[in-house]
Amino acid sequence: MGRVRLTVPRFRWRPFGGVLGPAKTDAGQSLAALAFSAFTSVVAGLTLASQEDQFVALPGLLLFIPPAIGLRGNVFGPLGSRLSTNIQMGTFSWTWKVDSVLGQNLVAVLINSLLASLGISVLAELLALFLGDEGVPPIGFSDFVVAGVLGGIVASIVVLGFTLALTFAAVRLDLDLDNVVAPMVTAAGDLITLPALVLSLVLVRRGNTTLITATVLTIVTLALTLWLVRSGLQIARRIVAESLPVLLAAGSLSLIAGIAIESAEERLSWVMLVLLPGYLGTAGALGGILANRLSTKVHLGIVQFNLWPGAEARSDMAFTAALAAPIFALLALVAEVVAQAAAQGTPGLLLLLAVAMTGGLASTLFVLAIAYYGTLASVRFGLDPDNIGIPLVTAALDVVGALSLVAAVVVWRVA
């Protein structure tokens, strides 16, 4: 009689796979991109902390920080999402003619970036005047235009190149852009936007030089917009028409986040200023990953929207939630290490973890609802969710993220 052989099932480690639905390859790509975003956000945080005196000396400018950081991701994240959809539908090609799909996307992001920067500059000036101290007037409209538009041009050139390089890598290496574009573009935006903004401050409050520069930038922006309206570039016109209202709404909500940050400035220590850009960027990137995945599946006919999310949508939502805890913990660890290296005061790693985790997880729960129902609303109104998803999520997360961070600082009594 032969020997009976008992087989014991082998345990296989499947991070974020199986129960949560998406394959571990997706989770690995997203975690790597989010970790890269977390580390690069330190540069933005250090820039913000190191320029604190300059921002204080230019009243109203601190309001501009959240929308300035968020705008790059809101413009170029949807670009990556649209290119991802074209890649997965087999309609993408590296054709650089202005009337090609790629060419019209490039025209659209250029004009979106200029128009949104100009619009947010107007809103920032109005809000700064409304909230400003009578004895300390805010910087003027021309100053905001120079900082926003000129700094935005410098940042946009770099982030555009990065987005196209990321698309090229995705095509060559068979990466899913939906998993990486939101955090990677967020990282690029964090890395370059604040330094570009600081660089543009050289021309702020320079009298006639500032006025002339602002006038030229405004004329160029309006002239390019008029050219697009009169052109036959239907794809570019639709992208701008659908995106611009959301970008301006996102900028408005981000300015509210700026109010929360400016009003709580005394509560935010050096290490919290280092943590802030990565904290806001990570929350937005998580929402961007979810919005991109849902948008692509809508185009492919995989996801059908109902008031209660279906199995495919719930799988992507669970996937996003699972990514949150390790990334917010990593942000706290990076901020603590940087503070120790810079010999700056810190409440300690445990308290930083408590602040980042409680505020971050609260923000993540909010982003699940915003990403799903925002995509649902865009589909119901006949809009392209690729154009709407990321700006909508980022806008909501700027406000909720800023408020949740301040609330977590208060709850945990972090000085």
Domain ranges across the chain: 19-411
The rounded distance, in Å, linking the Cα atoms of 156 and 76 is: 8
Rounded Cα distance between 365 and 363, Å, is 6
Q: Give the DSSP letter string of 27-54.
A: HHHHHHHHHHHHHHHHHHHHHHHHTHHH
- Collect all residues with Cβ–Cβ distance below 8 Å to 257 and sequence separation of at least 6: 66, 280, 398, 399, 401, 402, 403
Q: What is the mean pLDDT of each run of 10 residues along the chain (415 residues)?
A: 42 40 69 85 75 74 77 86 83 85 93 93 85 69 89 90 88 81 81 84 86 94 95 93 89 78 68 79 83 86 84 88 90 90 88 91 88 86 85 76 83 80
Exposed/middle/buried for 69, CB within 10 Å: 0-12, 13-18, 19+? buried
Q: Is the separation of the CB atoms in 176 and 166 below 8 Å? A: no
For the chain, how many residues are written? 415
Q: Which residues does 245 contact at the CB level (< 8 Å), separation at least 6? A: none
Rounded-to-integer distance, Cα 372 and Cα 352, Å: 30
CA gap 120, 126 in Å, rounded: 10
pLDDT for the residue 133 = 61
State how far the Cα of 11 lies from the Cα of 25, in Å rounded to an integer: 18
Q: If we measure between CA atoms, which residue out of 335, 337, 329, 391 comes closest to residue 361?
A: 329
Contact between 368 and 348 (Cβ < 8 Å): no
Which long-range CB contacts under 8 A does 58-61 form with residues at least 24 apart?
58/139, 58/143, 58/201, 58/204, 58/205, 59/128, 59/132, 59/133, 59/136, 59/137, 59/138, 59/139, 60/124, 60/125, 60/127, 60/128, 60/132, 60/138, 60/139, 60/144, 61/139, 61/147
Using the 8-state DSSP alphabet, how is residue 139 labeled?
P
Whole-angstrom distance, CA of residue 4 vs CA of residue 234? 71
Beta-carbon contacts of residue 68 (< 8 Å; ≥ 6 apart): 120, 147, 148, 151, 152, 193, 194, 197
Question: How far apart, in whole angstroms, are the C-alpha atoms of residue 364 and residue 367?
Answer: 5
- As a whole number of angstroms, the distance between CA 225 and CA 112 comes to 9
CB-count exposure of residue 331 (10 Å: 0-12, 13-18, 19+): buried
Neighbours of 196 (CB within 10 A): 23
Annotate 185-233 with DSSP letters as a single string. HHHHHHHHHHHHHHHHGGGTT-THHHHHHHHHHHHHHHHHHHHHHHS--
| Residues 108, 236 contacting (CB under 8 angstroms) | yes
Residue 239 contacts residue 387 (beta carbons within 8 Å): yes
